[in-house]
Chains A and B, each alone.
Chain A
Amino acid sequence: MAIIKVENVKYKYPDTDKLVLNDMTFDVEQGEFIGLIGKNTAGKSTLCFALAGLVPHFFKGAYGGKVLVNGLEVRQHEIGEISPHVGLVFENPFSQMTGSKYTVYEEIAFGLENMGIDREIIVNRIEESLELLDITEIKDKNPFDLSGGQMQRVAIASVIALKPSILILDEPTSQLDPQGTEEVFKVIENLTKEGITIIMAEHKIDKMAGYTDRILLIHEGKLIDFDTPAKLFSREDLQDYGIIAPAVTRISQSLGIQNKENGLYPVTLKELSREMGDKR
């Protein structure tokens, strides 16, 4: 059964006329790693907010259609009820720190305390997520003393500790250096192994091509395509949507290197070298 079901969702922010989400429909299966791409203002963040329930509950505005996450209809439930199912991490790690806690350890406990979970379970969950995100050695530091990459991992850890079945990441690496980006992607790959469904909006196309199962391309609030990276990046009209295919794909296109079985262009170095190996 699909863990996320989006049916004909339309949305516009208060005091605006433009539909930011325009009649979107798609399903996501449990355990999938979905990439969300589109140029700026395409509606990526809004879609992320819609899945987490912030649209329409936090932002208000006009809303139509249906979003079901884990069987809950987002519109009928408050954010507090949705948040145990859907975790959301966004761009700026700094503003995701609560500011009311003095150590990373306590910071991760924040959400758990709010949900009234027993102390023993809280301690277990914190240990687990510290380990999963590989931040055990900084657990006694003040969250504001950390580097961007570390802070972002703390932000992910504090959401993961709530054991959501779906994790939504809205450009989590846009403020990080290449090393921080790599750290975050590695961690997310680990999370997919735990069976968590992941939706990640991101501009780093090359990374997305390598890690995701399927990619959702949106443009001006409309869903353009939702397919495997290979199929999606082999499209001829990507430029129209402000997307540049991964370097590997562009090279393959210019050189005319295609996968022999399905005629698609490779999207990762590995695939490319396999195809080239076949030629030699």
Chain B
Amino acid sequence: MSTMTLYVEKNSILHNTAPLTKVLYVMVSIAITYLIPEIAFVLSVAIITLLLLILGKVFRKIVPILGLSIILILSIIIVQGFFHPQNQTILFSIGFVTFYKEGLSYAALLTLRVMNMIMSFGILILTTKHDELVEAMIKKGLSPKIGYVLLSVLQLIPQMRTTMAKITDAQRSRGMETEGSLLVRMKAFFPLIGPVVLNSINITRERAIALEVRGFSSNQKRSFLNISKEYRYQTAIQVILWLTLAAAIVWRILTWLS
């Protein structure tokens, strides 16, 4: 059964950290890189995140994801290197293209922020079972309905893809062209998407009924089959994270005042 989860089953310190602590880390590490816009600082945050990924034994999994973001990063470098409003100091020129120092250092800052963001989300997603995460969030007060949506999409989208493949086969067996030039593919789009959408609407209605008769919209406080795992030192880590955030905010206010 295919599900769309990126979770990597390993045993590491990160895998043994409470999901909500990791969520907090994601938020704090992103927030402080915006609060303190110093390249050296942002770089060190990114390096800490990177080290954590290595500690979580999931570094190899993040590489392709970072690779995907290369296009974004390249465009940041080019655009900022050329057009940053404070461009003054010429760094180097390739033919008629001139790169400025101010623009490039701003681009470096943005790039590091983006990479840090991707990597810290990577920590969360690659080392946390998402059902455990969602259950932890429901226990903290997230609506069980939203929790259900978050959990079920990951299984239902692959199901929908299977349906799509089935319908494509059915239409093809009735002589419809689905492969070939762009025009052929565009013509094939509607006869394919129509049944898929109608079928999903139907199934969704039925599933809604099935959920309803199993008490989905009852206002009872939920109970949980899975016992939440016990994690140690979580409060300490969370306090440190909150303090870091507070320190960053204080630093920001102080630099404003001076």
Q: B214–A158 contact, CB under 8 A?
A: yes
Interface residues of A in 128-161 (CB under 8 A from B): 142, 144-145, 155, 158-159
Asked whether, in the complex, the Cβ of A114 is within 8 Å of the Cβ of B222, the reply is yes
Which of B131, B207, B225, B226 is most buried by chain A, counting CB atoms within 10 A of its CB? B225
Contact between B206 and A99 (Cβ–Cβ < 8 Å)? no
Q: Is A247 an interface residue (CB 8 A)?
A: no
**Total residue contacts A-B, CB cutoff 8 A:** 112
With an 8 A cutoff between CB atoms, is B189 at the interface? no
For the complex, give the distance between the alpha carbons of A88 and B218 in Å: 16
Beta-carbon contact of A88 and B215 below 8 Å: no
A90 touching B206, Cβ below 8 Å? yes
Task: Knowing A100-B148, A145-B1, say if A113 contacts B222 (CB, 8 Å).
Answer: yes
Question: Do A116 and B223 contact each other (CB < 8 Å), given the known contacts A95-B207, A99-B159?
Answer: yes
Task: Tell me which residues from 76 to 128 in chain A have a Cβ below 8 Å from any Cβ of chain B.
Answer: 78-81, 83-84, 86-88, 90, 92, 94-96, 98-102, 105-106, 109-119, 122-123, 126
Task: Let me know if B225 and A80 touch, CB within 8 A.
Answer: no
Bound Cα distance from A59 to B210, whole angstroms: 14
Bound Cα distance A222, B148 (Å): 39
B170 CB-CB contact with A under 8 Å: no
Least CB separation from A145: chain B residue = B1
Query: A78 — which chain B residues lie within 8 A by C-beta?
Result: 217
- Quick one: CB contact mask for B83-114 with A, threshold 8 Å, 1 for yes? 00000000000000000000000000000000
CA distance A119 to B226 in the complex (A): 8
B236 within 8 A of A: no
B131 and A80: CB pair below 8 A?
A: no
Please, how many angstroms separate the alpha-carbon atoms of A116 and B223 in the complex?
Answer: 4
Given contacts A83-B215, A119-B227, 12 further A-B contacts (CB under 8 A): A54-B213, A99-B152, A99-B156, A101-B151, A110-B214, A111-B215, A113-B222, A116-B222, A117-B223, A118-B223, A119-B224, A144-B155
B residues adjacent to A (C-beta < 8 A): 1, 3, 131, 144, 148, 151-152, 155-156, 159, 203, 206-227
- Hey, which bits of chain A sit against chain B, CB under 8 A? 49, 52, 54, 58, 78-81, 83-84, 86-88, 90, 92, 94-96, 98-102, 105-106, 109-119, 122-123, 126, 142, 144-145, 155, 158-159, 162
- Chosen A-B contacts, 10 in total, with CB atoms closer than 8 Å, are A58-B208, A81-B218, A87-B213, A90-B210, A95-B203, A95-B207, A98-B210, A100-B151, A114-B222, A116-B220
